[in-house]
């Protein structure tokens, strides 16, 4: 029987639901999901099987107007992921409609079109009435020639199976790119760091901006089958370090516990997690940090 395999890029504004959709498509949590915007930094690939097709999802950072070097690297990664993919899915939030950001993305799609099939996925359909959805679909299809339009709820799963089946039919014929039981090609060290960063983001709410990152410094396999994982949390100011640690270390303990439990579930074995907070004022301008996140470091304003 003929097999198919290819790359599908999920693009859209921050918080459009791309990570939630990826995790539902793949059937496992491989991408960081929070209520905050700009949480996906690297192009995380999740692998899904549908019939005889293998779909490799490229979960891109949200597309927005970049201001800082990190922003520019994230936006560049998003467009690069779309340009490299066999098929693209543009996700729009039903209740937000055609924003300025969506208009910019539609313009960008014209540049990477060259015959590539692009589907429209209107997400969070439970938030608006049916006639609003219909009007939004017509408006968007008038602006861009989408191959298909899907009405979905990534969180609840509505319409997701139809989208996955369509993607399975769109990827090119060829051998599988990954073993059938593999769900992500991201190194486990990076997945572990993303899990801890998610817990920090959820715990700190508005107290700390996005000026922190997590790196897995050491990963030691133990004889009893468990793993010791040492991670560094980089912040840019001493004041931020105090916020991450919390009163009497309460915040860092809670983050460590939540991250360790999720890692144990993900790995299916015991994990000993050790977190350390370091002040590194210029980490946002260090090429090495970008490399850790799978992003390209760009000099100056390029």
Let me know whether 162 and 194 are in one domain.
no
Whether 302 is covered by a domain: the verdict is: no
What is the C-alpha to C-alpha distance for residues 109 and 283, in angstroms, rounded to an integer? 32
pTM for this prediction: 0.60
What is the C-alpha to C-alpha distance for residues 125 and 105, in angstroms, rounded to an integer? 20
Q: What pLDDT digit, counting tens, does each position of 105-125 carry?
A: 888 888 766 667 889 999 999
Let me know whether 126 and 33 are in one domain.
yes
Let me know whether 125 and 254 are in one domain.
no
| Residue 163: CATH number of its domain | 3.40.50.300
Let me know whether 68 and 145 are in one domain.
yes
Whether 272 is covered by a domain: the verdict is: yes
What is the tally of structural domains in the chain? Answer: 2
What is the C-alpha to C-alpha distance for residues 26 and 266, in angstroms, rounded to an integer? 14
Let me know whether 200 and 157 are in one domain.
no
Whether 62 is covered by a domain: the verdict is: yes
Q: What pLDDT digit, counting tens, does each position of 228-246 carry?
A: 999 999 888 888 888 899 8
What is the C-alpha to C-alpha distance for residues 119 and 199, in angstroms, rounded to an integer? 32
Q: Which domain holds residue 103?
A: 4-170
Tokens (6 digits) for 196: 């801890």
Let me know whether 132 and 88 are in one domain.
yes
Let me know whether 200 and 98 are in one domain.
no
Whether 215 is covered by a domain: the verdict is: yes
Residue 267 has pLDDT above 90, yes or no: no
């Amino acid at each position: 029987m003929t097999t198919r395999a290819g790359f599908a890029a999920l693009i859209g504004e921050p918080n459009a639901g791309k990570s939630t959709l990826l995790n539902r498509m793949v059937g496992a949590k491989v991408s960081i999901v929070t209520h905050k915007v700009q949480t996906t930094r690297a192009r995380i690939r999740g692998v899904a099987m549908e019939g005889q097709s293998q779909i490799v999802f490229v979960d891109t950072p949200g597309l927005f107007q970049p201001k800082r070097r990190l922003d520019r690297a994230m936006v560049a990664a998003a467009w690069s992921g779309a340009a490299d993919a066999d098929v693209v899915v543009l996700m729009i939030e039903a209740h937000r409609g055609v924003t300025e950001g969506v208009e910019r993305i539609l313009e960008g799609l014209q540049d990477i079109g060259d015959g590539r099939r692009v589907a429209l996925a209107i997400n969070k359909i439970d938030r608006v009435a049916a006639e609003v959805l219909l009007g939004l679909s017509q408006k968007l299809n008038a602006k861009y020639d989408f191959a298909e339009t899907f009405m979905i709820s990534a969180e609840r799963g509505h319409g997701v199976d139809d989208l996955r089946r369509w993607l399975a039919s769109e990827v090119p014929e060829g051998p599988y790119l990954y073993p059938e039981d593999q769900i992500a090609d991201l190194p486990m060290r990076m997945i572990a760091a993303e899990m801890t960063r998610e817990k920090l983001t959820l715990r700190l709410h508005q107290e700390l901006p996005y000026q922190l990152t997590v790196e897995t410094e050491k990963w030691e396999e133990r004889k009893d089958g468990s793993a010791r994982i040492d991670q560094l949390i980089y912040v840019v100011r001493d004041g931020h370090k105090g916020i991450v640690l919390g009163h009497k270390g309460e915040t860092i303990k809670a983050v460590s516990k939540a991250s360790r439990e999720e890692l144990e579930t993900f790995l299916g074995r015991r994990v000993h997690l050790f977190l350390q907070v370091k002040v590194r004022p210029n980490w946002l301008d260090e090429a090495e940090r970008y490399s850790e996140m799978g992003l390209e470091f760009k000099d100056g304003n390029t």
